[in-house]
Amino acid sequence: MSTKIIFERSRKGRRGYKFPKLEIPEKKEEELIDKKFLREVPAGLPEVSEVDIIRHYTNLSRRNFGVDVGFYPLGSCTMKYNPKINEDVASLPGFQQLHPLQPEEHCQGILKLLHETIRKLCEITGTQWGTLQPFAGAHGEFTGLKLFRAYFDKRGEKNRSKIIVPDSAHGTNPASAHISGFDVVEIKSNRQGMVSVENLKDHLDESVAGIMLTNPNTLGLFEQDIKEIADIIHDAGGLLYYDGANLNAIMGKSRPGDMGFDVVHLNLHKTFSTPHGGGGPGSGPVFVNEKLVPFLPVPDIGFKDGKYFFDYSKPDTIGRISGFYGNIAVIVKAYAYMLFMGADGLKRVSELAVLNANYLRVKLKDKYHLPYDQVCKHEFVLSASKLKEQYGVAAVNIAKRLLDYGVHPPTVYFPLIVPEALMIEPTETESKEVLDYFIETMEKIYLEAKENPKLALSAPTRTPVKRTDEVKAAKEPVVRWYR
């Protein structure tokens, strides 16, 4: 299959689309735009016919793997199937043609939707109020830590400079803490893969601003001591940040606010019906308990005397966190998803996500090493270290071989505390047949590793793109085309 890019397919004068004739008098470009802003030469856009463009992008999509193609158990990423109806709702003209600078009275509908989305997500997370502005989980973390800072500054506690992060944390947690001006203190997980309360106590003093946790953690394990952890952090004057990227495991069952968390972010692009990955649009809204509400970003979405409005009346606000009000289409999808599912449906999501993960965990643990052998939540982590030691087949090789069987690999080499990690998150949208196919495939790969390790070492052999130099691809990506 050719790997030409669209510019290389261009032929002068070829067209795929013609604009309809204008119904109003045509104007010259210079009459509409100041000459100094006009190009001297036309933009070098590709000139292609409709069939060229359809074939080009269809072929490109066939070189990739998506959740619409097959099973995608990429741990921590919640690659569930997202019902297409939510895409349809987000593409309704009333949403698509909105402009962020429209006056409030012209966009009461979307303001109501935003207000209700905050209210519903507060109910799900057990919090008081929130903001939909952040565009990703990491952006939510940054926002949340700015709220921590504003809260302590207002109390005159400028010395609170440390954020505690367990060694199982997602990389964005320490990165967000650092970029928000805090010092990161890493604490070791105990032998059960959880935060050790004793170890935590050793790190507490007046310079601690708080702790960032995801619960269940990245091993898929629920932090059983969470109430005690919350109490000791609060007693030390600190705050608790909940990384809600793993909410799919507990939605409708337990609430971060009830566990004692002060600030929560969610990844709508995982739990709430937006496909995740590929750098597509995301949304990482942030929710807080009562004591942090005054610091939330502006504009907030207010409701008074039967009208929704942009609310700037927050003297202690951290200010704007995005240009406008967030990734509206993603928020619309999340809202539609919550309405379609209802409270019972959302509970069922987490029940099935947990059931599916435990089914795989039990079926796979005889062949692959399971370092933390406990009932898990929505995901679990295997280790390929024994296969690597005995047959030279590492996690990366298992991942590549899975592609040959039409399955997207699990997350590999994360969390960092498990050597040769394979982090598996099946999600709730997969049937038993799909899970059984995955089990069968993993067993086959295990046998292949013993009998003919070359198969895994040279995989993938059945995909349009074979094994790539991942380091080079990451370090020297070619993302521009020069004529």
Q: Alpha-carbon distance 281 to 301, whole Å?
A: 22
Pick the stretch among 3-11, 241-249, 425-433, 457-465 that binds ligand PLP (CB under 6 A): 241-249
CB of 307 to ligand PLP, least distance (A): 33
CA dihedral 411, 413, 419, 425 (to 10 degrees): -10
Quick check: 170 binds ligand PLP (CB under 6 A)? yes
Q: Alpha-carbon distance 193 to 167, whole Å?
A: 10
Binds ligand PLP (CB under 6 A): choice among 267, 271, 274, 350: 267
- What HEC string does 277-296 produce? CCCCCCCCCEEECHHHHHHC
Quick check: 76 binds ligand PLP (CB under 6 A)? yes
CB of 135 to ligand PLP, least distance (A): 8
CB of 327 to ligand PLP, least distance (A): 11
- In the complex with ligand PLP, which residue's Cβ is closer, 215 or 397? 215
Pick the stretch among 93-101, 133-141, 202-210, 472-480 that binds ligand PLP (CB under 6 A): 133-141
- In the complex with ligand PLP, which residue's Cβ is closer, 378 or 401? 378
Helices (H), 63-171: 84-90, 93-96, 108-125, 137-154
- In the complex with ligand PLP, which residue's Cβ is closer, 138 or 449? 138
Of 131, 202, 212, give the one whose Cα is nearest residue 179: 212
CB of 122 to ligand PLP, least distance (A): 20
CB of 76 to ligand PLP, least distance (A): 4
* DSSP assignment letter at 176: H
The footprint of ligand PLP on this chain (CB under 6 A) covers a number of residues equal to 15
Q: For the chain, percent helix, then strand, then coil, each to nearest 5?
A: 40, 10, 45
Quick check: 216 binds ligand PLP (CB under 6 A)? no
Quick check: 274 binds ligand PLP (CB under 6 A)? no
Q: Which of residues 182-201 bind ligand PLP (CB under 6 A)?
A: none
Quick check: 172 binds ligand PLP (CB under 6 A)? yes
- In the complex with ligand PLP, which residue's Cβ is closer, 428 or 448? 428
Q: Alpha-carbon distance 263 to 122, whole Å?
A: 11
Binding mask 374-413 for ligand PLP (x = CB under 6 A): ----------------------------------------
Q: Alpha-carbon distance 220 to 222, whole Å?
A: 7
Quick check: 138 binds ligand PLP (CB under 6 A)? yes
- In the complex with ligand PLP, which residue's Cβ is closer, 256 or 284? 284
Q: Which two tokens stand for residue 69?
A: 């193609």
Cβ atoms < 10 Å from Cβ of 284: 30
Pick the stretch among 135-143, 224-232, 339-347, 440-448 that binds ligand PLP (CB under 6 A): 135-143
Cβ atoms < 10 Å from Cβ of 460: 19
For residue 265, the surrounding DSSP H or E stretch is strand 263-266
Torsions phi, psi of 12, nearest 5? -55, 130
Q: Which two tokens stand for residue 416?
A: 């960092």
CB of 250 to ligand PLP, least distance (A): 13
Rounded to 10°, the helix 172-179/137-154 angle is 40
CB of 138 to ligand PLP, least distance (A): 3
What residue is closest to ligand PLP based on CB?
137
CB of 40 to ligand PLP, least distance (A): 40
Binds ligand PLP (CB under 6 A): choice among 126, 144, 220, 284: 284
Compute the Cα dihedral for 360, 365, 366, 367 and give only its sign: positive
- DSSP string of 348-380, one letter each residue: HHHHHHHHHHHHHHHHHTTTSB-SS-S--SS-E
Q: How far from each other are the two terminal CA atoms of the chain, in whole angstroms?
A: 22
- DSSP string of 157-173, one letter each residue: -TT--EEEEETTS-THH
CB of 264 to ligand PLP, least distance (A): 12
- In the complex with ligand PLP, which residue's Cβ is closer, 174 or 260? 174
Pick the stretch among 48-56, 243-251, 356-364, 379-387 that binds ligand PLP (CB under 6 A): 243-251
Quick check: 282 binds ligand PLP (CB under 6 A)? yes
Binds ligand PLP (CB under 6 A): choice among 145, 150, 243, 410: 243
CB of 163 to ligand PLP, least distance (A): 14
CA dihedral 478, 480, 481, 483 (to 10 degrees): -130
Q: Alpha-carbon distance 418 to 314, whole Å?
A: 45
- In the complex with ligand PLP, which residue's Cβ is closer, 169 or 393? 169
- In the complex with ligand PLP, which residue's Cβ is closer, 77 or 107? 77
- In the complex with ligand PLP, which residue's Cβ is closer, 141 or 430? 141
Quick check: 415 binds ligand PLP (CB under 6 A)? no
Q: Alpha-carbon distance 479 to 472, whole Å?
A: 13
Say how many CA atoms lie within 13 Å of 289 toward its Cβ.
16
Q: Which two tokens stand for residue 61?
A: 């999509």
Q: Alpha-carbon distance 170 to 377, whole Å?
A: 17
Q: Which residues bind ligand PLP (CB under 6 A)?
A: 76-77, 136-138, 170, 172, 214, 218, 243, 245-246, 267, 282, 284
